[in-house]
Amino acid sequence: MLVTLRIFQGIGLGGEYGGAALMTIEHSPRDRRGFWGSIPQAAASAGILLATGVFALFSLLPEDAFLSWGWRVPFLISIVLLGVGLFIRLRIAETPAFTEVKETGIEAQMPFLELLRSYPKNILLTLGARLGETASSNILNAFTIAYVSTELGLPNAVALTGILIASGIGVFACPFFGSLSDRIGRRPIYMAGAGFLVLFAFPYFLLLQTEVAPVIWLGIIVGYILGPTAMFAVQSVFFTELFGTRVRYSGLSIAYQVSAIAGGFIPLTATSLLAAALLFVIALVSLVCTYLATETFRSDISEVEEELLTEQRAPTR
């Protein structure tokens, strides 16, 4: 039952993530979209920090108490966050960009099909760019915890401590990278994160294999902040700017969720060598896809797509 509910939770996230990102970005001024777009992204690090911290706290219970009821409490506590999210969701106003589209009467009747017709290249590039971020995030979090405790035989607290510290730094790193992208662009930040992962894939596991706690923490922190956090910080605004208002929600959601499905299987990787090789290859794919994408940070996402209005006004044949 718990797994089934977790699947439904994932479906809910898939539908709401794009909307949350767009609400923030489309309400932001052009020269600050990167900064404001990174604030919801920082919630990922905050969520990992909160979840890991709560789990670590309840894991201090006697083993029998933790296995019988203690592990359930973190799940039940999340109902508070559900209430906050629902309150915001029911009261938020539509963005100016989409309101403009509605007023002109050019909403997409079938957004998914129009997305495939109008932006096939950008869909493929965002899928590839996203893959490196989600795969590396899963390796540096879920896989690392299992690898350090199971393969290296170290206490769970070793990996959890590193992830706690990295997540705490990530909360502040996201706005920093987002603000930086307003000055130098989205692609340089995203490519830097992907390029770092290409170079760090194998050294990361060498650091873990030292079995020295501070060295492991250093590997987790550096890898998490300079890799997936740098990419994730600018991801929503970068992808948002690659699609028109009429299909932007669908484009961002598909790019985010389809790649997440593939990246979610990465923690099942059996060995550190295979995980490192996968991280290297996937990060390289993300680097290439980002390089091929268009820089977007100076574009105006609030304007109505003029080419579509032109087509609508053209004489029918």
**Could you list the residue range(s) of the whole structural domain that residue 175 is in?**
11-60+110-297
Q: What span, in angstroms and rounded, lies between the C-alpha atoms of 200 and 275?
A: 12
The pLDDT value given to residue 213: 95
Residue 315 pLDDT exceeds 50: no
**Which one is predicted more confidently, 44 or 303?**
44
Residue 309 pLDDT exceeds 90: no
The pLDDT value given to residue 54: 86
Least confident of 19-23, 109-113, 205-209: 109-113
Tens digits of residue pLDDT in 230-289: 999 999 999 988 888 778 888 888 888 887 777 677 766 657 778 888 899 999 999 999
Asked if residue 256 is part of any domain, the answer here is yes
Least confident of 74-78, 135-139, 196-200, 296-300: 296-300
Asked if residue 91 is part of any domain, the answer here is no
Residues 6+ apart with CB under 8 A from 311: none
Quick one: CA dihedral 308, 313, 314, 317, positive or negative?
A: positive
Mean pLDDT for 292-313 is: 61
| Number of domains observed in the structure of the chain | 1
Contacts by 116-119, CB closer than 8 A, 24 or more apart = 118/244, 118/247, 119/242, 119/243, 119/244, 119/247, 119/251
Joined tokens for residue 22: 């767009």
Q: CATH no. for residue 115?
A: 1.20.1250.20
Residue 107 pLDDT exceeds 70: no
Q: How confident is the model at residue 101 (pLDDT cuts 50, 70, 90)?
A: low
Residues 6+ apart with CB under 8 A from 132: 193, 194, 197, 231, 282, 283, 284, 285, 286, 287
Please give the torsion angle defined by the CA atoms of residues 176, 178, 179 and 182, in that order, rounded to the nearest 10 degrees.
150
Q: How confident is the model at residue 76 (pLDDT cuts 50, 70, 90)?
A: confident
The pLDDT value given to residue 168: 92
Residue 219 pLDDT exceeds 90: yes
Q: Which of 125-129, 137-141, 269-273 has the highest mean pLDDT?
A: 125-129
Residue 102 pLDDT exceeds 70: no
Mean pLDDT for 156-162 is: 89
Residue 313 pLDDT exceeds 50: no
Asked if residue 178 is part of any domain, the answer here is yes
Asked if residue 79 is part of any domain, the answer here is no
Asked if residue 100 is part of any domain, the answer here is no
114 and 21 Cβ atoms separated by less than 8 Å: no
Tens digits of residue pLDDT in 27-51: 888 889 999 999 989 988 888 888 8
* Reported pTM: 0.82
Quick one: CA dihedral 89, 95, 101, 104, positive or negative?
A: positive
Tens digits of residue pLDDT in 278-290: 899 999 999 999 9
**How wide is the angle at C-alpha 55 spanned by C-alphas 52 and 60, nearest 5°?**
130
Q: Which run of H or E residues covers position 4?
A: helix 2-26
The pLDDT value given to residue 244: 80
Q: How confident is the model at residue 2 (pLDDT cuts 50, 70, 90)?
A: confident
| 3-state SS, one letter per residue, for 163-176 | HHHHHHHHHHHHHH
**DSSP, res 27:** T
Q: Which amino acid is at 203?
A: P
Asked if residue 90 is part of any domain, the answer here is no
Residue 215 pLDDT exceeds 60: yes
Asked if residue 142 is part of any domain, the answer here is yes
Residues 6+ apart with CB under 8 A from 138: 263, 264, 266, 267
Question: What's the mean pLDDT when you consider all of the chain?
Answer: 84
The pLDDT value given to residue 308: 43
Q: How confident is the model at residue 105 (pLDDT cuts 50, 70, 90)?
A: low
Least confident of 21-35, 278-292, 302-316: 302-316
The pLDDT value given to residue 269: 62
The pLDDT value given to residue 305: 47
